[in-house]
Amino acid sequence: MEIKTRNVLITGASRGIGRAVAIKLASMNHKVVINYNSHENEAKQVVKEIERFGGSAFCIQGNVKIKSDCERIIKSAEEKFGSIEILINNAGVISDSLIIRMKDQDFEHTMQTNMFGTFYCTQRVIQSMVKNRWGRIINISSVVGIRGNIGQSNYAASKSAIHGFTKSIAKEVAKRGITVNVVAPGYVKTATSDVLSEKMKETVKSWIPMGRFGEIDEIVPIIVFLTSDNAQYITGEIIRVDGGMAI
């Protein structure tokens, strides 16, 4: 892939997929802003790891469900590196419950973090992308947003909303050299899936034609490719990386 140094913001990048993408993009000479909400030590460790191999990164706290936090995060990023050219909306929460028991705050918190956070960050960075006539926005969703799941109506709704949002924004900015895409992972070995019981893990595997959970390293290359100039003719897509779960 052709590689040019870009300024990158990744929300929720202290752990899991966000962390792995941050390290990979930094290793490609991109300047990376690592956003976190509550995992400060982990975020600082990501920065240290990047700096060890000569990469450029810094971390900043902020809750993406709060618009003023998104403004502050992006303003700090611009002051440090310049306009954000690649935005990866990765921050997300899960608050599972059957609909009959779900509390209003669980639905609101999930929608505000997953969907509103994506909206706030996208709206803010897209202004400079339009001006510069280049940009990459990758929204991290989930296979649950495609197929639904028992006990996750709030999470599925938030991720499905991201899909419609992505397609709409992709149409709005396509002629400005900006692509907007979704990567929708299936069940991946992360801290989130580690808390599942062994019985539940076996049940989930039975839903997946490949019969196993994915690895983070199987998700990262797709995201990295979508940030490149080689992906300039791909926009408005929902790319599943799920072992066939949503077939």
pLDDT value of position 55: 97
pLDDT digits (tens, 9 = 90+) for 43-52: 999 999 999 9
Per CATH, the number for 7-240 is 3.40.50.720
Domain residue spans in the chain? 7-240
Separation CA 222–CA 20 (nearest Å): 12
Query: Which has the closest alpha carbon to 26: 64, 54, 45?
Result: 54
pLDDT value of position 227: 97
pLDDT digits (tens, 9 = 90+) for 38-91: 999 999 999 999 999 999 999 999 999 999 999 999 999 999 999 999 999 999
pLDDT value of position 2: 55
pLDDT value of position 10: 98
Intervals of the chain under pLDDT 50: none
pLDDT value of position 198: 86
What are the catalytic residues? 155
pLDDT value of position 165: 98
